[in-house]
Structure 1
Amino acid sequence: MPRILALDYGRKRTGIAVTDDLQIIASGLTTVDTAQLFPFLVDYFKKEDVRSVLIGEPKQMNGLPSESAPLVDAFVVQFQATFPEIPVVRVDERFTSKMAFQTMIDSGLTKKQRQNKGLVDEIAATILLQEYLSRKMI
Structure 2
Amino acid sequence: MGRLLAIDYGKKRTGIAITDELQIIASGLTTVDTKDLINFLKDYVQKEQVDLFLVGEPKQMNNEASESEALIIPFLKKLQNVIPDIPIERVDERFTSKMAFQTMLDSGLSKKKRQNKALIDEISATLILQNYLYSK
- TM-score bracket, normalised by the shorter chain, equals over 0.9
What is the CA–CA distance in structure 2 between the aligned matches of 1:107 and 1:72, rounded to whole Å? 31
- The number of residues matched between the two structures is 136
Residues 9-67 of structure 1: CA deviation (Å, up to 9, x unaligned)? 00000000000111001000000000111111111000000000000011111110001
Corresponding position: 1:8 with 2:8: yes
What is the CA–CA distance in structure 1 between the aligned matches of 2:58 and 2:77, rounded to whole Å? 15
| Structure 2 runs not aligned, ≥5 long | none
Question: SS of the counterpart of 1:52?
Answer: strand
4+ residue segments displaced more than 3 Å: none
What is the CA–CA distance in structure 2 between the aligned matches of 1:75 and 1:39, rounded to whole Å? 12
TM-score (norm 2): 0.99
Could you tell me which amino acid in structure 1 is paired with residue 6 of structure 2?
A: A
Cα RMSD, aligned residues only: 0.5
TM-score (norm 1): 0.97
| Structure 1 runs not aligned, ≥5 long | none
Corresponding position: 1:43 with 2:43: yes
Once the two structures are superposed, the pairs formed by residues 24-103 of structure 1 within 5 Å of their partners are: 24-103=24-103
Could you tell me which amino acid in structure 2 is paired with residue 92 of structure 1?
A: D
